[in-house]
């Protein structure tokens, strides 16, 4: 049996994670499967289920929220391949820049691989200028690029006309549990737990809390429907992962529209099948989708889906009459249409049943797991064999950090040399630390016990909003910083260890990160700390002063001679 490494960069249990999980389980009888993902509470239950099924679980750090690292962290990618020694790799991508570093390592090592592209979102002109060339190169190195819908393939071809590698379409499947009949007792019990009466109509909006999923549109539509119908018996349940700030904003939207009695947010759930049993109508007013899994799961359960008029929903086979104008065209028209559709379906149980039966029949013909798994088994089986040469534990030639070299952290390739988890994407002249904990790590060619790390940075601080950081180096306290303003400063971390070491890990802890939105600056809701522009590592204070003096003398001589500094 070939060893297949399944790499998933979705760390919140979303659609891409589910696709990878289902394929790993479905192919476990054909291949030895190793499942690589970032560990998070949202994926814990799924990881436990995979382990029980005999699937190996490997922890990785790069994920969809850290595109910089996924694109350029070759050290982490090389370590993953050396640890797992795969015969073939299946990358299950949440976006077109997913796992680029790992794909390039696989190419260099001669490991055959395919990429499943679940979404083409985020490929803005500015983003393409930053990493479009890398994404094109990675896609051309694939043995095959698999798209989950013809709409996703067409959009990819528009954005990346330079990709010439084989492209296929394999639509995502739905597990057998979604095709089974509804248990009336379980339905009634879950509805009771959710505060929905047997005589009420339950709307379900599943999806991550983000503007693209359209929760705000659904709330406005429900408010209008209630205003039009008076004492409506419609209740809305929202399910899906949401960051703390997104949850606070959602609850404020619910309160401002006076919907607290009829709307409930229940967070991420592992019982989507039961939620679909409990609901009467699924609503998905998304602004973009490639091949949403939950709408197929609703079809299998025989639940009508009220959605945006997107190519993805039409391709799945949803009823044209239940598609509202897409929000990007006119959010006002989307809300108005949603309100009418909700009102109409909530009053007509017979119509809901007829639509549900039609959708169920479509799903049985087109979206079973057996069809999906068989397609990928054939694709993987057609890949060439990998060379049996063992993968070395680190990249040939090494990737040691150059002492004294100034790293420009606005350059993603420089940033990837030292920045690990807890960093956002590079910006015009630097990069933000993201969340309460951020980590830097690097390796020196020769061991050292004394080190200085000099950074040019500024903090996201404001009068009355001091930002404080605790800095540690290789587990030892190294510095404490406080900032009361946003002025750019130079900070130096001085490290003295009892024994020389090659690998250094620097951790920045920020107990109370804030966002530009909280400070009234703009609508950016990321929890940010330090904006670092450059970084330089020197070994020993005396050695650094000598090197700096020598460099200054050399530059002066070159200037006097009129030659270029090299």
Domain that holds residue 41: 3-173+370-381
CA atoms within 13 A on the CB side of 441: 14
Among 58-72, 223-237, 466-480, the range with the most confident prediction by mean pLDDT is 466-480
Beta strands in 216-257 (DSSP E): 234-239
Assigned token pair, 346: 């909530």
CA separation for the pair 37, 333 (Å, rounded): 40
Residue 260 has pLDDT above 50, yes or no: yes
Residue 257: DSSP 8-state: T
For residue 472, the Cα-to-chain-centroid distance in whole angstroms is 28
Assigned token pair, 551: 């460099």
Residue 14 has pLDDT above 70, yes or no: yes
* Beta bridge mates, 324: 308
Residue 394 has pLDDT above 70, yes or no: no
In sequence order, which ranges of 410-456 are alpha helices (DSSP H)? 412-418
| Same-domain pairing of 334 and 189 | yes
CA atoms within 13 A on the CB side of 228: 15
Residue 420 has pLDDT above 60, yes or no: yes
Within 8 A by CB and 6+ apart from 99, the residues are 7, 9, 62, 70, 77, 91, 93
Residue 62: DSSP 8-state: -
> Quick check: is 399 in a domain?
no
298 contacts 178 by C-beta, under 8 angstroms: no
* Mean per-residue pLDDT over the chain, rounded: 89
In sequence order, which ranges of 302-348 are alpha helices (DSSP H)? 311-316, 331-347
CB atoms within 10 A of CB 397: 6
Residue 465 has pLDDT above 90, yes or no: no
CATH of residue 23's domain is 3.40.50.2000
CA separation for the pair 279, 285 (Å, rounded): 17
> Residue 23: which H helix or E strand, with range?
helix 15-27
| Same-domain pairing of 168 and 200 | no
> Residue 135: which H helix or E strand, with range?
helix 125-141
| Same-domain pairing of 267 and 376 | no
pLDDT reported for residue 397: 45
Least confident of 38-47, 360-369, 500-509: 38-47
> Quick check: is 134 in a domain?
yes
> Quick check: is 396 in a domain?
no
| Same-domain pairing of 150 and 222 | no
pLDDT one-digit tens code per residue, 150-201: 989 998 999 899 999 999 999 999 999 999 999 999 999 999 999 999 999 9
Contacts 24+ apart (CB under 8 A), 151-159: 151/290, 151/291, 151/310, 151/311, 151/312, 151/315, 152/117, 152/118, 152/119, 152/120, 152/290, 152/291, 152/312, 154/311, 155/120, 155/290, 156/96, 156/117, 156/120, 159/96, 159/120, 159/123, 159/128, 159/132
Q: Name the packing angle between helices 215-229 and 244-256 (round to 10°).
A: 20
Average pLDDT over residues 448-456: 95
| Same-domain pairing of 375 and 482 | no
Is the model's pTM score more than 0.75?
yes
For residue 224, the Cα-to-chain-centroid distance in whole angstroms is 33
Assigned token pair, 33: 């499967």
| Same-domain pairing of 337 and 198 | yes
Residue 108 has pLDDT above 90, yes or no: no
> Quick check: is 303 in a domain?
yes
| Same-domain pairing of 549 and 479 | yes
| Same-domain pairing of 275 and 361 | yes
Q: What's the total number of domains in the chain?
A: 3
CATH of residue 463's domain is 2.60.120.260
| Same-domain pairing of 326 and 453 | no
| Same-domain pairing of 238 and 287 | yes
Average pLDDT over residues 267-290: 94
CA separation for the pair 48, 41 (Å, rounded): 11
pLDDT one-digit tens code per residue, 503-543: 999 999 998 899 998 898 988 888 999 999 999 999 975 44
CA separation for the pair 15, 293 (Å, rounded): 6
| Same-domain pairing of 265 and 224 | yes
> Quick check: is 395 in a domain?
no
For residue 84, name the pLDDT band (cuts at 50, 70, 90).
Answer: very high
pLDDT reported for residue 412: 81
> Quick check: is 388 in a domain?
no
| Residue 186 backbone phi and psi in degrees, to 5 | -65, -35
536 contacts 407 by C-beta, under 8 angstroms: yes
| Same-domain pairing of 155 and 120 | yes
In sequence order, which ranges of 28-66 are alpha helices (DSSP H)? 44-52
């Amino acid at each position: 049996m070939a060893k297949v490494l399944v790499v998933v960069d979705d760390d919140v249990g979303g659609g891409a994670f589910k696709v990878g999980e289902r394929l790993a389980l479905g192919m476990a009888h054909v291949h030895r499967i190793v499942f690589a993902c970032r560990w998070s509470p949202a994926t814990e239950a799924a990881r436990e289920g995979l382990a029980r099924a005999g699937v190996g679980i490997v922890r990785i750090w790069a994920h969809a929220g850290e595109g910089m690292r996924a694109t350029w962290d070759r050290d982490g990618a090389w370590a993953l391949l050396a640890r797992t020694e795969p015969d073939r790799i299946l990358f299950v991508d949440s976006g077109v820049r997913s796992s680029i570093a790992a794909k390039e390592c696989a190419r260099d090592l001669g490991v055959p691989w395919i990429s499943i592209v679940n979404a083409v979102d985020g490929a803005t002109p500015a983003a393409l200028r930053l990493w479009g060339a890398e994404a094109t190169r990675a896609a051309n190195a694939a043995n095959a690029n698999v798209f989950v819908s013809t709409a996703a393939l067409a959009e990819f071809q528009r954005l990346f006309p330079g990709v010439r590698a084989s492209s296929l379409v394999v639509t995502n499947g739905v597990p057998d549990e979604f095709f089974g009949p509804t248990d009336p007792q379980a339905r009634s019990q879950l509805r009771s737990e959710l505060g929905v009466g047997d005589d009420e109509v339950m709307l379900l909006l599943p999806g991550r809390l983000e503007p693209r999923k359209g929760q705000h549109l659904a709330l406005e539509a429900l408010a209008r429907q209630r205003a039009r119908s008076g004492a409506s018996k419609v209740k809305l349940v929202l399910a899906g992962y949401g960051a703390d700030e997104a949850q606070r904003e959602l609850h404020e939207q619910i309160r401002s529209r006076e919907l607290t009695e009829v709307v409930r947010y229940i967070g991420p759930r592992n019982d989507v099948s039961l939620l679909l049993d409990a609901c009467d109508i699924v609503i998905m007013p998304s602004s973009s989708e490639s091949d949403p899994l939950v709408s197929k799961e609703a079809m299998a359960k025989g639940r009508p889906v009220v959605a945006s008029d997107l190519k993805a929903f039409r391709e799945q086979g949803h009823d044209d009459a239940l598609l509202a104008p897409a929000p990007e065209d006119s959010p006002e028209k989307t809300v108005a249409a949603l309100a009418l559709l909700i009102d109409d379906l909530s009053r007509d149980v017979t119509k809901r049943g007829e639509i549900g039966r039609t959708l169920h029949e479509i799903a049985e013909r087109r979206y079973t797991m057996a069809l999906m798994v068989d397609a990928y088994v054939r694709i993987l089986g057609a890949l060439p064999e990998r060379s049996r040469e063992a993968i070395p534990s680190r990249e040939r030639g090494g990737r040691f950090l150059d002492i004294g070299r100034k790293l420009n952290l606005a350059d993603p390739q420089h940033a990837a040399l030292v920045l690990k988890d807890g960093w956002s994407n590079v910006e015009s002249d630097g990069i933000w630390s993201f969340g309460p904990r951020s980590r830097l790590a690097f390796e020196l060619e020769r061991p050292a016990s004394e080190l200085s790390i000099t950074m040019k940075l500024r903090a996201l601080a404001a009068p009355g909003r001091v930002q404080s950081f605790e800095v540690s180096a290789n587990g030892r306290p190294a510095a404490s910083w406080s900032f009361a303003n946003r002025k750019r400063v130079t900070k130096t971390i001085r490290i003295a260890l009892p024994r020389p070491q090659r690998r250094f890990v620097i951790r920045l802890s920020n107990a109370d990160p804030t966002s530009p939105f909280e400070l009234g600056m703009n609508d950016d809701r990321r929890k940010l700390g330090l904006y670092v522009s450059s970084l330089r590592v020197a070994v020993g204070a005396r050695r650094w002063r000598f090197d700096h003096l020598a460099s200054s003398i050399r530059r002066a001589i070159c200037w006097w001679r009129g030659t270029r500094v090299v």
